Amino acid sequence: MFGLLSALVFIQFYIFPLSQISRNVLLGINSPYTSQSMIARAKGIYLPPNAEKPMFEAVEYIKTHTNKGEKIFVGNNNHDAIGMNNILFYFLAERGCGTRYHELAPGIATLESTQKTIINELLSNNVRYVVIEKDIQLTDTSGKGSKYLDNYLRSNYCPVMSNGQYTVLFPNNPGSNN
């Protein structure tokens, strides 16, 4: 009898409260892992407070200046040394990637041949808007990759919106094959 009573007390005071906490976390109630985001699609995704406002501004800019089915490209301020890029941006902006390289992997996207493919796909998919995020933590800081894509973007696009973390680029000559 004492064993059954102990089990009931254990369930009542330890298991049940833990299951309520788990339930609340799953539902996003009082959870440190969810946020009341400014970005509609980010509900339930933790975004650090200092990162959310700049991302919100860039996402809203893209959403108001592009059509729903229009493709964009999200890159970094340096494509010769890539650690990671912000593929979450595509989801939050509800826009597809204008190239097969939505994830810019070090050792692949740093190759000149890959960067030439990215440029060709930007042109063939009529990608007008390029979003550049700065200060992505680099794993490869050697800078030995190609600057071909960076030079192309610098020569053919100009900034139309910037907030310190994100810069949105638009073609210098829209409608022409740069």
pTM to 2 decimals?
A: 0.75
Residue 103: which residues within 8 A CB-CB, separation 6 or more? 85, 87
pLDDT value for 46: 76
pLDDT for the residue 178: 55
Helix (H) and strand (E) counts in the chain:
6, 4
pLDDT of residue 50: 81
Within 8 A by CB and 6+ apart from 177, the residues are: 123
Pairing of strands 166-171, 157-162: antiparallel
The predicted structure's pLDDT at residue 82: 81
Tell me which residues of the chain have a pLDDT lower than 70: 1-37, 135-143, 175-178
Can you give the pLDDT at residue 148? 97
Farthest CA pair distance, the chain: 84
Looking at residue 41, its pLDDT comes to 77
pLDDT value, residue 136: 59
Q: Comparing C-alpha atoms, which of 92, 74, 95 is closest to residue 84?
A: 74
Give residue 6's pLDDT. 64
Question: CA-to-CA distance for 54 and 60, rounded, in angstroms?
Answer: 10
Q: Are 119 and 111 in contact (CB under 8 A)?
A: no
* Percent of the chain topping pLDDT 70: 71
* C-beta of residue 165 within 8 angstroms of C-beta of residue 57: no
* Phi and psi angles of residue 171, each rounded to the nearest 5 degrees, phi first: -60, 145
